[in-house]
Structure 1
């Protein structure tokens, strides 16, 4: 039985594409955005399997998981701050004073959050997006 070169090529491409994406990013997408923590050994081993078979995709898998933060174990805690307590950090023009915000978060959560970290992912929104979620924009 002869296997078509197209089938072999397709299987090879599919295998390489699955290795290009980090395991932690696929299995635990809710972990993305973490900037530090303890490395999850399960994710590290799964990424290392990619190194055994294909060196370049394995390195890329590690890179994706580390860059997205999905390789780190979650703390298991979630922190919420009342939006009313965050209002002093919002300036009249709508911009956020990062030092004041950092001080409020440290006082409320008891943790120092590095808001000046270059790996911090900042999402910008608009009043239309807030209205689509049924939220009233107020600063």
Structure 2
């Protein structure tokens, strides 16, 4: 490779690494963790940010700041959420919720099974107002 062609390749590679480091490792790798306020710190993310800190001090500090600010540096809290759009299939034509379908969706999305027949489970009736707030429409 000629010397004149080597400069743009090195410059592009270093620019790409710098941009990746500026965005914060945990934020890029674990976007689903964003929004957490606290928890146990993930050592993998800390090590990756630390490696960036060894090579470039300012971008490494920015990566730590971004990951702490977004919450991506923390392990998941153990709480799970399902997007309202995914729940669309569980609503019957008349607006009632199909609990069997809902249980399947929750298990599929979170990997956890919720026993809807448990005696301590309190099920509240849904209202059209709640469903409209979630932008979920009954099938027509």
* TM-score (ref. length: structure 2): 0.54
**41, 64, 71: which is aligned to 2:73?**
71
Q: Which has the larger radius of gyration?
A: 2
1:36-79, Cα deviation, whole Å (9 max, x unpaired): 11111111111101001111111111011000000011122337
Question: Would you say 1:2 and 2:3 are equivalent positions?
Answer: yes
Q: Please, what is the CA RMSD of the aligned residues?
A: 2.7
* Distance in 1 separating the partners of 2:133 and 2:42: 38
Length, aligned pairs only:
88
> Structure 1 stretches of 5 or more lacking a match?
81-126
Question: Does residue 31 of structure 1 match 2:56?
Answer: no
SS at match of 2:11: helix
CA gap of 1:131–1:69, structure 2 versus 1, over 3 A, is: closer
* SS class of match (2:136): coil
What CA deviation, in whole Å up to 9, does each residue of 1:115-139 have, x standing for no partner? xxxxxxxxxxxx9xx5894348xxx
User: TM-score by structure 1 length?
Assistant: 0.54
Please list every run of 5 or more consecutive structure 2 residues that lacks an aligned counterpart in the other structure: 83-128
